[in-house]
Chains A and B, each alone.
Chain A
Amino acid sequence: MLKLPIYLDHNATTPCDPRVVEAMVPYFTNAFGNAASRNHPFGWQAEEAVDYAREQVAKLVGADPKEIIFTSGATEADNLALKGVFEMYRNKGNHIITCSIEHKAVLDPCKHLEKEGAEVTYLKVTPEGLINLEELEAAFKPTTILVAIMYANNEIGTIMPIKEISTIARKKGVLVFSDATQAVGKVPVDVNKDGIDLMAFTAHKMYGPKGVGALYVRRKNPRVKVTAQIDGGGHERGMRSGTLNVPGIVGFGKACELCMQEMEQDAKRLGALRDKLETALLKLEEAYVNGSTQHRLPHVSNVSFKYVEGEGLMMGFNKDIAVSSGSACTSASLEPSYVLKALGLGDDLAHSSIRFGLGRYTTEEQIDYTINQVTNTVNRLRDMSPLWEMHKEGVDVSKVEFTHH
């Protein structure tokens, strides 16, 4: 029996794997010690658990455990990387290169740094959602201290050419920071093979708990330092003070270990389900995939259904299926997705987009149900869309003069 509602919004967050929860439980009650308590068994036990988790986390991304700084999540890790590098290397320069489709957790700190005297270049992306390497190369200045490019995009799932990006940055002697929140645990990420110097990621996007994440900070070739943004005791090698979230960190470690073991088969299975979903939805007229289909996370699909509005569409099935939309109506700002607009999509197509994010517990039955529901709702809403009627009558809707309100 199909259980409703169906969760297809795994880019927003994922459920905790029961095996993760099981690993965490003792650290709330019996093993509750403070990992910084050096003088009794409660502290030792907590420290040991954190050390083990640090190894599990490091292993998933090919890092040394000493290079993992635990934070409250990816947003904090992004802030620490950007602000911490800017403060630490300010005497070398003030220029940061990033791109227009980064997550707000990168864009907003960049805006903040601009007020502090940073100069930030926001690279444009191609209609596929990828940066142009020649444009990147041309953006470097003698004052450039950091290249900050996401590993994979949260809205469209496209994977950036990180290896090529870091090769260029290395040649220029500039550090590379990547927000890999959507990629770690889903596709193989290796900080050494990928040439990454700093990397943010978080547990709750990979079946771990919310409230814990990490910043990878390279220790050699080159040795990278960041100025702490939270002071108060010098935890995490002085880069992030504050009592460690031991149960969260233990859960994060377990989640990483499980991804290490299951990522390959999960990716294969979800890729096939995603392709089934996408192929079926593209059978609808005027349906388009947003972003590269070649360089993309296996579990993500972002589709625009022209002439129907995203929120109106979701309303047709959101009691039963949880997805998200780039439509303005779903955000407080009333602006459609800046990511989709950066791809060159018109506002009308951006308003018509739905993001499907599959996950570890997604079944074929759920996908079949989703195909059916989405197809029916698109057809139903098109029957009441004046734009669809115009399109069907052969009117070029883009040339119609509308009253802007």
Chain B
Amino acid sequence: MSYSEKVIDHYSNPKNVGTLDKSKTNVGTGLVGAPECGDVMRLQIEVDESTGLIKDAKFKTFGCGSAIASSSLATEWLKGKSVDDAVKIDNMDIVEELSLPPVKIHCSVLAEDAIKAAVNDYRKKNGLPELKFEASLVH
């Protein structure tokens, strides 16, 4: 299988690899996937409390090139978004942007799940009710 140029670019020069301080109340952490399934994503957001906008996003991913690219792209898209808008990122947007083939759609689903998990972690820390999401179709 050959990869799209954008996947290769994110894989070779991933954006926002790293770790945020998960003990901070303005940092939300989402850890999704499992080693047995071949991919684990950890996505973190740091929210500017005065504006409610995401001022930083970081990821670390164990997985194939498409999983790494999906999480790298997600962190790029998250920066500058409000927390409410963040959960509107749809996995199919990632699929389209990276031209992922059908067998790699689950990588984009995982990235979407990671965003939602990070947002909910942030909400929980700040006394907000967790958002309920419909189960993703592709798992």
Q: Is the interface of B mostly helix, strand, loop or mixed?
A: mixed
Which of B37-45, B78-86, B118-126 forms contacts with chain A? Answer: B37-45
Bound-complex Cα distance A308 to B60 (A): 11
A-B contact number at CB 8 A:
94
Interface residues of B in 12-31 (CB under 8 A from A): 14, 17, 19, 31
Indicate whether A402 sits within 8 Å of B38 (C-beta atoms), given known contacts A315-B65, A386-B60. no
Residue of A386, A388, A389 with highest tally of chain B CB at under 10 A: A386
Bound-complex Cα distance A334 to B19 (A): 29
Indicate whether A403 sits within 8 Å of B61 (C-beta atoms), given known contacts A384-B14, A387-B40. no
Q: Are B34 and A403 in contact (CB under 8 A)?
A: yes
When distances are taken between beta carbons in the complex, the residues of chain B under 8 Å from A383 are: 17
Given contacts A315-B64, A387-B62, 6 further A-B contacts (CB under 8 A): A315-B11, A332-B103, A348-B36, A385-B40, A402-B40, A404-B34
Q: Is B77 an interface residue (CB 8 A)?
A: no
Residue from B19, B59, B63 in contact with A312 in the complex, judged by beta carbons closer than 8 Å? B63
Q: Are B42 and A386 in contact (CB under 8 A)?
A: yes
Closest to A401 in B: B34
Closest to A309 in B: B63
Indicate whether A327 sits within 8 Å of B64 (C-beta atoms), given known contacts A315-B11, A351-B35, A397-B35. yes
Q: Is A17 an interface residue (CB 8 A)?
A: no
Residue of A315, A383, A388, A397 with highest tally of chain B CB at under 10 A: A315
Bound-complex Cα distance A246 to B25 (A): 75
Interface residues of A in 379-404 (CB under 8 A from B): 383-389, 397, 402-404
Closest to A384 in B: B17
Question: Chain B, 56-72, contact with A by CB distance < 8 Å: what is the 0/1 string?
Answer: 00011111110110000
Q: Is A328 an interface residue (CB 8 A)?
A: yes
Q: Are A386 and B38 in contact (CB under 8 A)?
A: no
When distances are taken between beta carbons in the complex, the residues of chain B under 8 Å from A336 are: 38
Indicate whether A327 sits within 8 Å of B37 (C-beta atoms), given known contacts A312-B68, A315-B65. no
Residues of B within 8 A of A (CB): 3, 8, 11, 14, 17, 19, 31-42, 59-65, 67-68, 103, 106, 109-110, 113, 139
Q: Is A307 an interface residue (CB 8 A)?
A: yes
When distances are taken between beta carbons in the complex, the residues of chain A under 8 Å from B40 are: 385-387, 402
Closest to A405 in B: B139
Question: Chain A, 313-325, contact with B by CB distance < 8 Å: what is the 0/1 string?
Answer: 0011000000000
Q: Are A329 and B62 in contact (CB under 8 A)?
A: no
Q: Are B36 and A346 in contact (CB under 8 A)?
A: yes
Bound-complex Cα distance A312 to B32 (A): 17
Residue from A309, A385, A388 in contact with B38 in the complex, judged by beta carbons closer than 8 Å? A309
CB distance from A322 to the nearest CB of B (A): 14
Bound-complex Cα distance A311 to B38 (A): 9
Indicate whether A402 sits within 8 Å of B64 (C-beta atoms), given known contacts A309-B39, A315-B11. no
Q: Are B36 and A405 in contact (CB under 8 A)?
A: no
Q: Are B33 and A402 in contact (CB under 8 A)?
A: yes
* A-B contact list, 20 entries, CB within 8 Å: A307-B62, A311-B38, A312-B62, A315-B64, A327-B64, A328-B37, A334-B38, A334-B103, A384-B60, A384-B68, A385-B40, A385-B60, A386-B31, A386-B42, A386-B60, A402-B34, A404-B37, A405-B33, A405-B37, A405-B110
Q: Is A87 an interface residue (CB 8 A)?
A: no
Bound-complex Cα distance A329 to B68 (A): 13
Q: Is A364 an interface residue (CB 8 A)?
A: no
When distances are taken between beta carbons in the complex, the residues of chain A under 8 Å from B3 are: 315
Q: Is A194 an interface residue (CB 8 A)?
A: no
CB distance from A55 to the nearest CB of B (A): 43
Question: Chain A, 211-242, contact with B by CB distance < 8 Å: what is the 0/1 string?
Answer: 00000000000000000000000000000000
Bound-complex Cα distance A383 to B60 (A): 8
Q: Are B62 and A385 in contact (CB under 8 A)?
A: yes
Bound-complex Cα distance A317 to B41 (A): 22
Bound-complex Cα distance A329 to B106 (A): 11
CB distance from B37 to the nearest CB of A (A): 6
Residue of B31, B35, B42 with highest tally of chain A CB at under 10 A: B35
